[in-house]
Each structure stands twice: as structure tokens, then as C-alpha cells.
A and B are shown apart, each in its own frame.
Chain A
Amino acid sequence: MTRYAMVIDLNKCVGCNACAAACIAENLLSPTYYKEPPLLKALGESVKEKDARKPIEQLWMRTRVHRVYIGTYPNTQLVFVHNLCRHCDNAPCVAVCPTGASYQREDGIVAVDPEKCILCGYCIAACPYGARSVNYYTRTIDKCTFCYHRLAEGKLPACVETCPTGARIFGDLDDPDSEVSRIVRSGSAVAGTPGGALAGTRPRLYFVLQQPRRRE
């Protein structure tokens, strides 16, 4: 069996959003995924100047790194918050879906079948991680797929492949030799959010917390 998981090492992430850019390039710009890439279409000749920004402003994102500053000077910290689907084993989004559009694959990836999605929005409300959004172009629910179309070709998810500092690590939890297995087994990673899993969803996304900074 295969159980895909991702580990994000916050000691390495510099918040550059290369992951978000690669995701957009892979999934929203590229016809491997869409017959007509929405962004390319949005930039077509027919688009009037005043409307050009609109499709970009409406662009949803499957993954994004936010910057949060906490503490007071000089004990300030800059924390990078990663937002993407946790691919939970006990996924509330799957449970609430009235049409079965949201489902979990055998390899653990939580996916949406656009043919079945009716855009009721229940899953958006159910997800404690805020990982789901609306794809304005297909008008279905959209979320991170762990790039399963790439996995099928033996490639890594686009964000993992591009991450300049190697902060995103991907692999198979059922393979004891994989890096993700090793990290999860070592106990240095927490599931779901840096504060732990929310609502007992058993997430497949782990965070290695940043070492605390020395304070005088």
C-alpha cells in the first residue's frame, strides 16, 4: 500500500511562495490539467484593459504561505503559515459531501470529482484548516491534489520539486525508508498544524517546528 504524506520543515521555509507559484504554474496555467488554462485565457487578446486584473484577483490558490509576525521587538518572530489540504484520514469534508464528490483515494489523497461536485459549500465549512476554495473557472470546489497527476508519472508534487530550500518533503508513509517516514517516526513532526491536529482529523501533513531562537 501507499500512504502519501508531506512534511514541511519550518526550519527551512523562508516564505518565498515558490510553492504557490509552482502550484499555479502546474495546475492553473498548464493544459495538462485544464483543457484551456484559465490564466492564459484571462490574458488573451480579447481581454479589455480594465478587466485584465479581474481573473487574477479572483484566482484561488491551492497552497499559499502567509507571513505572521508575533511578539514585541526585539523578541519578534516571523512565522510562515502554510495553507493547503491536510489530506486527513478522517476527513470531515468527505463526510459532509452530499454527492460523494469529495472522496479519499486508496493512497490517502483526498480528492474532488468535479463531475459530482454541486458547489454546495458544505466541505468548505467543514474543513477546520480552511484548505478548500471555489475554482471560479470550473465552478467546482478546488483543493490541493498532492499533484496526483504527477505522482502517476513518478514525479513529486510541483511545490515539493521547486521548493528552493527543500522545506517541503514528500513521500510514502508505508515505506519505512522514505524521508517522511523517518521524520514522522522520529517524533520531530506534528500533524495538521504547528499546534497539532484540529478536530481529530488525522492529517497527512506534518510540520517540523522551528527551533526556538536564542534570547538574551
Chain B
Amino acid sequence: MSVHVSRREFLKIAGVGTLAATLPFSTRLVSRDKKIAVLQAKKLGPVNVSYVPSICRMCTAQCSIIIRVRNGRPERIMGNPKAAPLNEGRICARGNMGLFKAISPDRIKKPLVRKQGTRRGDWEFREASWDEAIGIVAKKLKELRDRGELAKKTILIIGQIGCATYHHHVVSFAKTLGIPNIASMPLSTCVMPKALAWGMMGLAGKHSELVPDYKRTRYFLSFGRNLGGSIAVGQTSKAGMYRRNYKLVVLDPRLSEWAAKADEWIPIKPGTDLAFLLAAINVVITKKLYDEEYLVKYTNAPMIIDAEGLAPIATRKIKKNIAGKEVELIDFLVYDKATNSFTWASEAKLPAIELPNNAREYKGKKVRTVFEALRDHVSSYTPVWAERITGVRAAIIERIATEFATTKPATIETGWNTNRWWNSFQLYRAASILAALTGNLLRPGGVVLSAAGIKSVLSRAPPPIASPKSVLYQSELSYEIELSDGGKVKGPLLVFGHGYQWPWEQLVREKGWVIIVIGANPARTMVGDVFEKIAKLPTVDLIVDIGAGPDDTVAYSDVFIPECAYTERSYTITGAPFTTAKIIRAAFAAHEPPSDAQCKNMLEILADIISGVDKGLLEKYAEMIAEEIGPSNCVEEFKKAVEEYEKTKGYDDLTSRIIKAQASCMGLSYEKLRRDGAILVAPEEWGLEMNAKILENGWLNSPTGKIEIMPLKLVMLIGKRKFPVKPEWHPLPTWVPPRWMWKRKSLGSDEFVVITGKVPTMSYVSTEDNPVLALKLTPPDLNSVWINTERAKTLGIKNGDVVEVCSENGNCFKARAFVTEAIRPDTVFIPSNYGNEKAPMRFKDSKVPPLNKLNVFVMEPVAGSRIMADFIVRIKKA
């Protein structure tokens, strides 16, 4: 018998391959078929290879992707180069590793139903059929509906994925069934303080709506955000690619990835960025570095107001044509230097921002301009004052303020995860005013509205406030908030009613509650142990989790309904965030779910539940889809799609039909959309032009149509709520200390202020069980609690030690310490990787404590969101 031995094998046998013997794998010799098969692959040829455009769901930034599929199996995810100028073919580490959502061995493939006799919190489930799981939910909702309690007793929770992706889908569902109670995570824990701050001024403030124009700027003042760690490629790519064209100043207590890229890193005391910005405003005004022409033409800086108060001295209503629609605006009084008289802003030639001495009275009343009010209001916020608070030398503050005002164009951070600090609202008010004073708002290279922002401003959209009937709205309204000056108010200034504020008393007192969680992980994102406590209430009859799982929330549910992996499902026609270009996008299912899986797309899951409650409601569902997802002229087509879906019940059938209907109603080529995934309708320049039009024509979403330095909406809201004027919501930018600072005079020897932030390889839900991201690509420093070297030394903590982190709220957790020179001595950084205790995950490797359980349950006073940092922990060696 002859044995064929290749040359390589011969050499190995002969002992040359000594290294091979040390390998942990079996030492069986490599057979030919295992060798790298570049050539073989070529020989095999591209058998049934297809490229399917989709949208990434590894975080909420919605990059456009292309999924390569070979013989029905997903093979590779790439950035979609057609999505210029969004992510233009680039995706981050998470996006590259997205396939594991579909192929993970931990994927929950079938609906789960809690085993009888087990308690919520235990992972005790049995697999159930699709019809059984849907049936349980539908039956319960039907019972509530028959008793007329559906609107009162059902609470929907939508999370980071749910809100960024399925907001309109879930609202369609909620409206169909008449459920007003929607708790939504980005609204409650992410965007509200800054969205409100920019929104009050007449702009739009969601992440997707307002952006620094990184591409064209010469100077970028960045704070409260880490573009290198919290990567949204649509933004980070522009900030990064044009990085060498602008000067970057980063305020951050920690040397973040973005601070590491800065021309100047300023390790500011945590939560005091506001004092820095107020001092910068002071410098700009004192040194007369403001853009007077801009203030006169485009803002309400010349508005004449009461010298003692803030009310406009005289107003009248005027009609104005805004982008083809007649709108009623407020005209205000100004002092016209051309005629030396008080006159209406709409008629004045040369409005004054500072009044001459002979014009300080109007009809016997002492008056001033908004600009003067601002000037006097910030006069005490000198750089020397700010130095005492921020720990940043006055000379540095003055220099940076001067550079910011004299470099054109300059831009400023618009906010990201802005609920971290008690003073976030005033922080972004100050940022918006600094941008306006220097003439950088709505101008190329400054802060600009994206296509979504332009739409929002032109439609004069109100803030997304919940129905006052909502139990969440009611409980938020009655929540008592303690303010920094010791005062107390009931509810935040603007009650959104979408927060994680729970109707506790009602939940405990009344029976029969149903909670439906959609694309969320409240067990890990709701501050405190709230979700656990709710789940353990005997008055809660049913908790349903609809999502991609597994996560800890599943463990607290009674029924889990699996959503298909994002590579397996399509997504209705949508725009693109972060860019001034108008792009139309859709996602398409790239491959089928595994044959043993039972899952559906979200629209289909919700349709199945509605159908189970009452088939007659499906028509309304179609109407609501037209109203919420749009276009509104597509009702009949959508009705037909829903009707067809009822017959087929295919896992992605309804969404596919809706996309086709949308394309036809919008006059788009479905084939082109299917092929490219993204269609550029109007370039970036169009959006910049629209920004200029909005600015120059006074089309802003404010009562006066101008950029409002002192927002009338805010003045009116304070009046409407009958609230006293407090620093937290003063209509002029005002210093409010971060909560840790007004709660405590000083820090103990083992105490630290907590800051948090994202990790580039991790997002909240989609990455935790990802083998490559969790086990290989997340470095140990980003999986640990950061402690300054000197402080660690005095506490006897060495790098890598296990430490005990104890919060103000009494909860303690063990964590790994990263001892570093890259953070302030008074600060610890805890990555916002929320940890996981209950769900079975084999690739998890998190050594950080669950931030939500350390966090103190405090409501932010203006927008009512939950504060995510701004608390104190004690640390000792475990």
C-alpha cells in the first residue's frame, strides 16, 4: 500500500515543523481540502451570489449596508457605497460583525412561553408555536378591550432599536388599538434635553435632525460626546475624514478616543461644561466678537422686552408664507436706527441690538432688548468665575472663546446622550446661543439642519408629547422634583409622557396590567431596578417581549416573540439621518431565517396580534400605517397589502408589500431601490441652500420665525405651567450646577463622580453576545472601570484588580479596575455596556457593573428624562 505524502507533509514529518507540535489543535496533518481555497473558490465561481441592500441595526445610527448572500446563506456585510453622503460604503466594527445576529448559536429561534409555576426573573421557558404565543397576547388584549380597559391598562415600552427603527410602526399599532401609553427609551434617556434646547430656539434637535457641518468647518468645540467611541459612521466619517481641516477642542474629564484626536484636550470637571460655555458667551459679548449683522437680521436679539422681566413689550400677529403654507407668526417691537423710533420688526430697516440712551422707555415703561438682557445676564459669568467651577484656567477659556468667535466657520457639539447631567438643558441652550452669537447657525461649516431637520422645521412640528390620557403622562406630571436651589415642582417643565416614569401607585393598586416591550431591554436600560420591580408585581398580568433577544428583559417576560434577524427582514422606505442631502432608502430581506426558526418582521408581528384581537381592526392598521409611516395617499394600497398578508402570513410578506406600495405611491422606481438601497434625491448643497432659505426668510419653527435667543416658547411654557423662573429653565442661559455638585460640597477620599460613554465595538443590545466583538475586539480598558492612577494608589488598587463599586443608592457591584493616567482624579468612567445576568450568552465578556443599577433614580427637571451619570460612587478593593 502506497501513501501519498506531499512535499509539505514530508517536511513536517521529518521534523522541520516543530511549531506545529505545540499547537493546541489536534496534530492530525492537514489534508488538501482544508487548505486555503482561493483558487478553488474561483473554480467554484460565483454560484448564486447576490448583493442585497439593507440598513444596519447594530446600533441606532442606521448606516446603509449591502449584504452578500451565497446560495441563500449570508456571507458578508459591507457599507453601501451608493449611500453617499451618509456612510458612503464605510461601516464600523459592529456593522462588519452583524451576521452573528442571524447565525449566533444563542439565537432564540422560536417563541417562548413561561413554564407554569415559575417566576418572572427566572429563565424558565418552553418553546411554543407561533399561533400559541400570539394567541396568548391577543387573548389578553381582547379581554381588556372587551372590558374597555385596553387604553388604561396596556403599556408599550419601545427601546433604542424600537424607537430609532420602529417608532412609526409601533405608533401605528398603538393607534389602531387605542393605546396612549408609550414609554420610549431615546426620548426618556437620550435626546430630550438637547432636542428641547435646540427646538425651543426654532430648530429641530433630534440626533438625526441637527448636525455640526464637520465637512466644512474650521473649528470644532466638542463636549459631552465621543465621536471616536460612540461611532455613528454617518457622522464620525465626516468628522474624521476632514479632521485635518479644522481645529478640534475637546472638553472631557477623560481622554476619550475623540479627545485623543484633539488639538487641545481640556480635562474639565465632570458636568461643568455649562460654566465653560457661559464664560465663552461672556467673552464673546464683552470683547464684542459677536456677529451683529447676523443677530440683527436672523434672531430676536433686537426684540424689545420689559426691563424688569422677560415679556416682549408689544407683539402683533402677522401672516407669512412659509414654504408654500400660510402661517401665523408673532411680530415684535424693535428700535429702528434708520428712523430712530420703535417699530415692528417686520418693517424695521436697522433694528438695534443695544438701545441708545434716549430710547430706554416705551410708552412710559422701561425697556431693553433681548441682547441687552443676555449681556447683563451673563456679565457675572466671567472666565475667572468659570475657572473656580470647571478647573480650567481662565486664560484658556478666554483664548478658546476668542478663537471660536474669530475662526469662520466654527461649529459646536449639538448633543448626544444628553441626559447625563442635571444641567443638560441649559448646556445646550448655551451651545446654541454661542453658535448664534458667532453667526454659525444654519450656515455651511456651522451647525446645520439635516434633510430630516429641514422637514421638521418647515412642517412646524410640535414636540412629540403624549396624550394627556396616558397613564405615563399623568404619573410624570405628578412626580415631585427637587431643584438645585432647594425648591420643588410637580413634574418637569415640559411633560412628554414618554419617559420611564411609572404609575407606581396605580400599578400596585389596580389589577390586570399588560406590558409589551418592543425592541428594548428595559431590564438593563431603565434606571434602577424598576423593571424588575414591575415584573414582580402580582398586579401585572402579562409581560410580552417582542425583539431579537436574548437579553435580560426576556427573563422577566411571560411571552417572548422573536423578531427575525435584521439581515432577514426588509424595512419600509425611509430617509437618511445626519446629512443635509435628501436620500431615500429601504432595506430588503437578504436571506430566509433558518428552517427551524419561527420569527417575523415587526409589522407582521403587530398585524398578527391585531388580527388576533379583532380582524376588523386590520383595515384601521393599514390607515394608521399610511398616517404614521406614509405616504398618506397610499391608504388603499396598504389596505390591500394587509389583506393579502392575512392570506399568506409570510414572515416578511407585509413589509415587502408595503415597500412596493410606498414606491408606487411616491413615484419611485422600485427596481432601482431594490438594487441600490439608497437613492440620492437632492445633494448636500440642496440642504445647505434650504438652511440658508430658512435662515434668511425667517422660516424657523419659532413663534417669530427667527432664531430666538430668548425663546418665546420657553417663556410661554413657564407661564403655562405656572412655574417660577428657576435656573434650570431660565429663558436666558443660566448656570445650574450638576446634581453631584449641589448635592455634595466635596468628595470623600474613596468617592468619585461617574461619567459614562460608549465603546466603539459595543452598542446596547446588538453586540453583547457577538463572539468577535465581545471576545476579541473589545480591549480590556473598555471593559473596566477607569480610575486615575494617583487616586488608585492611595486606595491600594492596581490595574486589573477587582474593585467594589458602591453607588449613592446603596447598590454595590464588583468590577475590574483600569488604572490610568487618562482620567481626572475625581472621576470614574463606567462604559455604558449594560451587562447581562440572566440571559444565556456564551460569548459575553463584560467586566463592568450594570450602570442602570448603580444609577440614582432622578428625573431631569426640564424634559423629564432619566439622568444617566451625575452621581457619586465609592470604590474600594474587593
CB of B24 within 8 Å of the partner chain:
yes
Closest to A58 in B: B24
Q: Which residues of A contact B241 (CB under 8 A)?
A: 12, 165-166
Q: Which residues of B contact A77 (CB under 8 A)?
A: 255, 260
Within 8 A of B (CB), among A50-87: 52-53, 56-59, 61, 66-67, 69, 71-74, 76-80
CB of A163 within 8 Å of the partner chain:
yes
Within 8 A of A (CB), among B96-118: 96-97, 99-100, 103-105
How many pairs, one residue from A and one from B, have CB atoms within 8 Å of each other in the complex?
A: 243
Q: Which residues of B contact A31 (CB under 8 A)?
A: 41, 70, 75
A118-B240 CB under 8 A given contacts A16-B231, A25-B76 = no
Report the minimal beta-carbon distance from B376 to chain A, rounded to whole angstroms: 31
Q: Which residues of A contact B41 (CB under 8 A)?
A: 31-33, 35
A29-B820 CB under 8 A given contacts A14-B227, A21-B772 = no
CB pair A35–B37 under 8 Å, yes or no, is: yes
CB pair B103–A17 under 8 Å, yes or no, is: no
CB pair B34–A138 under 8 Å, yes or no, is: yes
Report the minimal beta-carbon distance from B524 to chain A, rounded to whole angstroms: 22
A78-B822 CB under 8 A given contacts A11-B244, A40-B103 = yes
A164-B90 CB under 8 A given contacts A11-B244, A17-B761 = yes
A14-B96 CB under 8 A given contacts A35-B37, A56-B775, A115-B8 = no
CB of A193 within 8 Å of the partner chain:
no
Contact with B257, one of A73, A74, A78, A118 (Cβ below 8 angstroms) = A78
Closest to B11 in A: A118
Report the minimal beta-carbon distance from A38 to chain B, rounded to whole angstroms: 10
Within 8 A of B (CB), among A102-143: 114-121, 124, 134, 136-140
CB of A26 within 8 Å of the partner chain:
yes
Interface mask (A3-33 → B, CB under 8 Å = 1, otherwise 0): 0000001011011111011101110011111
Q: Which residues of B contact A186 (CB under 8 A)?
A: none
CB of A43 within 8 Å of the partner chain:
yes
A59-B772 CB under 8 A given contacts A14-B240, A24-B96 = yes
Q: Which residues of B contact A52 (CB under 8 A)?
A: 105, 771, 842-843
Interface mask (B70-108 → A, CB under 8 Å = 1, otherwise 0): 100001111100000001011111111101100111000
Q: How far is the CA of A16 from the CA of B77 in the complex (A)?
A: 17
Contact with A30, one of B34, B75, B87, B237 (Cβ below 8 angstroms) = B75
CB of B801 within 8 Å of the partner chain:
no
Greatest chain A CB density within 10 A among B23, B96, B761 is at B96
Q: Residues of B within 8 Å of A, CB-based: how many?
A: 90
Task: Tell which of B263-271, B327-335, B644-652 binds the partner.
Answer: B263-271
Q: Which residues of A contact B34 (CB under 8 A)?
A: 36, 137-138
CB of A177 within 8 Å of the partner chain:
no
CB of B154 within 8 Å of the partner chain:
no
CB pair B91–A162 under 8 Å, yes or no, is: yes
Task: Tell which of B12-20, B144-152, B446-454 binds the partner.
Answer: B12-20
A164-B823 CB under 8 A given contacts A14-B236, A213-B262 = no
Within 8 A of A (CB), among B228-278: 228-229, 231, 233, 236-237, 239-241, 243-244, 255, 257-265, 267
CB of B40 within 8 Å of the partner chain:
yes
Contact with B261, one of A11, A17, A24 (Cβ below 8 angstroms) = A11
Q: Which residues of A contact B396 (CB under 8 A)?
A: 216
Interface mask (B520-540 → A, CB under 8 Å = 1, otherwise 0): 000000000000000000000
Within 8 A of A (CB), among B301-354: none
CB pair B105–A120 under 8 Å, yes or no, is: no
Main secondary structure of the interface of A (DSSP, over half): loop
Contact with B843, one of A32, A56, A118, A137 (Cβ below 8 angstroms) = A56
Q: How far is the CA of A25 from the CA of B776 in the complex (A)?
A: 13
A20-B777 CB under 8 A given contacts A120-B17, A165-B243 = yes
Q: How far is the CA of A162 from the CA of B20 in the complex (A)?
A: 34
A73-B788 CB under 8 A given contacts A12-B243, A165-B237, A216-B396 = yes
Closest to B393 in A: A216
CB pair B779–A76 under 8 Å, yes or no, is: no
Report the minimal beta-carbon distance from A77 to chain B, rounded to whole angstroms: 7
Contact with A53, one of B24, B393, B775, B789 (Cβ below 8 angstroms) = B775
CB of A191 within 8 Å of the partner chain:
no
CB of A47 within 8 Å of the partner chain:
yes
CB pair A16–B103 under 8 Å, yes or no, is: no
A43-B105 CB under 8 A given contacts A73-B821, A118-B16, A216-B396 = yes
Q: How far is the CA of A216 from the CA of B266 in the complex (A)?
A: 10
Contact with B96, one of A22, A34, A35, A98 (Cβ below 8 angstroms) = A22
Closest to A214 in B: B264
CB of B35 within 8 Å of the partner chain:
yes
Contact with B92, one of A30, A43, A120, A164 (Cβ below 8 angstroms) = A164
CB pair A149–B38 under 8 Å, yes or no, is: yes
Q: Which residues of A contact B40 (CB under 8 A)?
A: 35
CB of B824 within 8 Å of the partner chain:
yes
Q: Which residues of B contact A30 (CB under 8 A)?
A: 68, 75-76
Q: How far is the CA of A71 from the CA of B675 in the complex (A)?
A: 51
Closest to A216 in B: B396
Q: How far is the CA of A16 from the CA of B214 in the complex (A)?
A: 19
Contact with A73, one of B258, B393, B781, B789 (Cβ below 8 angstroms) = B789
CB of A99 within 8 Å of the partner chain:
yes
Q: How far is the CA of A56 from the CA of B105 in the complex (A)?
A: 13
Report the minimal beta-carbon distance from B651 to chain A, rounded to whole angstroms: 21
CB pair B24–A66 under 8 Å, yes or no, is: no
Q: How far is the CA of A30 from the CA of B89 in the complex (A)?
A: 18
A164-B236 CB under 8 A given contacts A14-B227, A43-B771, A120-B17 = yes
CB pair A139–B30 under 8 Å, yes or no, is: yes
A21-B777 CB under 8 A given contacts A117-B8, A139-B25 = yes
Q: Which residues of B contact A66 (CB under 8 A)?
A: 779
CB pair A17–B93 under 8 Å, yes or no, is: yes
Greatest chain B CB density within 10 A among A24, A136, A149 is at A24
CB pair B90–A24 under 8 Å, yes or no, is: no
Q: Which residues of B contact A18 (CB under 8 A)?
A: 90-93, 95-96, 760
CB pair B228–A16 under 8 Å, yes or no, is: yes
CB of A161 within 8 Å of the partner chain:
yes
Within 8 A of A (CB), among B168-206: none
Q: List 7 A-B contacts (CB under 8 A).
A: A16-B228, A20-B776, A35-B41, A36-B34, A118-B8, A119-B20, A139-B25
If A12-B241, A24-B772 are given as contacts, then 14 extra A-B residue pairs at C-beta distance below 8 Å, sorted by A number, are A14-B240, A14-B261, A16-B257, A21-B95, A21-B761, A22-B93, A24-B96, A53-B771, A78-B822, A120-B18, A138-B34, A162-B78, A213-B262, A216-B396
4 closest cross-chain pairs (CB), A and B: A165-B240, A14-B228, A78-B260, A21-B96
Chain A residues engaging chain B, CB cutoff 8 angstroms: 9, 11-12, 14-18, 20-22, 24-26, 29-36, 39-40, 43, 45, 47, 49, 52-53, 56-59, 61, 66-67, 69, 71-74, 76-80, 98-99, 114-121, 124, 134, 136-140, 149, 161-167, 210-211, 213-214, 216
